[in-house]
Chains A and B, each alone.
Chain A
Amino acid sequence: AQRVTQPEKLLSVFKGAPVELKCNYSYSGSPELFWYVQYSRQRLQLLLRHISRESIKGFTADLNKGETSFHLKKPFAQEEDSAMYYCALSGIRGTSGSRLTFGEGTQLTVNP
């Protein structure tokens, strides 16, 4: 079974401070991991995926298979980063399609 855990429902930091949103997963094979973001009054959208190894809006995430984690990090948070962040996992090609298993989300607030 696939499972994604985001231990923090709420996270509050000050502008310019580092931020880390935690994500742990449970999956028997090699997963594809994603971070999705939902800004206020906007639809859910992809922020980044581990396979592309990109830095989007200053955010990075490293897949740690030993710790089964995929934490999202940004060295200097900005007020516009305030949003709901969801970690998501996709299973093995051909078995479960591109279904996404989401965590419960972390609401990030960046204070001025």
Chain B
Amino acid sequence: ETGVTQSPTHLIKTRGQQVTLRCSSQSGHNTVSWYQQALGQGPQFIFQYYREEENGRGNFPPRFSGLQFPNYSSELNVNALELDDSALYLCASSFRTTWDEQYFGPGTRLTVT
């Protein structure tokens, strides 16, 4: 069984740039959720994808967007980066859309300068 993987591990971008983060879900899982974790805070829900469609979104602006592919891997795209976007971005996969254990990846550390 392969766990959730994320790439890259670390990333440094300049304000105004765009970034793409990637996530491979655990084998057999069809739901991927993305979370933003600022320093000293708990993870905050960005959005979730189920069978390639968005299945819920948190309180994040439209410049945060995502995709899920037929193999259930996923991307998180952030446009017009702001300094406050600096955070750890976590991806989690699960089999069903509700009440299932979510398996987290190691995260991508994004720094915006």
Tally A-B pairs: CB < 8 A.
Answer: 67
Q: Which residues of B contact A86 (CB under 8 A)?
A: 42-43
| Distance to closest chain A CB from B49 (angstroms) | 10
Find out whether the CB atom of A90 lies under 8 angstroms from the CB atom of B45: no
Find out whether the CB atom of B42 lies under 8 angstroms from the CB atom of A46: no
Beyond the given A46-B102, A90-B99, A99-B33, could you list 20 further A-B residue pairs with CB under 8 A, ordered by the A residue number?
A4-B42, A43-B4, A44-B43, A46-B101, A86-B43, A93-B97, A97-B31, A97-B48, A97-B56, A97-B97, A98-B31, A98-B96, A98-B98, A98-B99, A101-B45, A102-B35, A102-B43, A104-B40, A104-B42, A105-B42
The residue in A45, A98, A99 that gathers the most chain B C-beta atoms within 10 A of its C-beta is A98
Total count of chain A residues near the partner, CB < 8 A: 24
Q: Which residues of B contact A93 (CB under 8 A)?
A: 97-99
Find out whether the CB atom of B107 lies under 8 angstroms from the CB atom of A100: no
Q: Which residues of B contact A94 (CB under 8 A)?
A: 98
Find out whether the CB atom of B50 lies under 8 angstroms from the CB atom of A97: yes
Find out whether the CB atom of B45 lies under 8 angstroms from the CB atom of A99: yes
The answer for the CA separation of A100 and B102 in the assembled complex, in Å, is 9
Q: Is B68 an interface residue, CB under 8 A from the partner?
A: no
Find out whether the CB atom of A100 lies under 8 angstroms from the CB atom of B45: yes
Find out whether the CB atom of B48 lies under 8 angstroms from the CB atom of A99: yes
Q: Which residues of A contact B97 (CB under 8 A)?
A: 93, 97-98
Can you list the 4 inter-chain pairs with the closest CB atoms, starting with the nearest?
Answer: A102-B42, A97-B56, A93-B98, A44-B104
Find out whether the CB atom of B42 lies under 8 angstroms from the CB atom of A98: no
Nearest opposing residue in chain B for A101, CB measure: B45
Q: Which residues of B contact A90 (CB under 8 A)?
A: 98-99
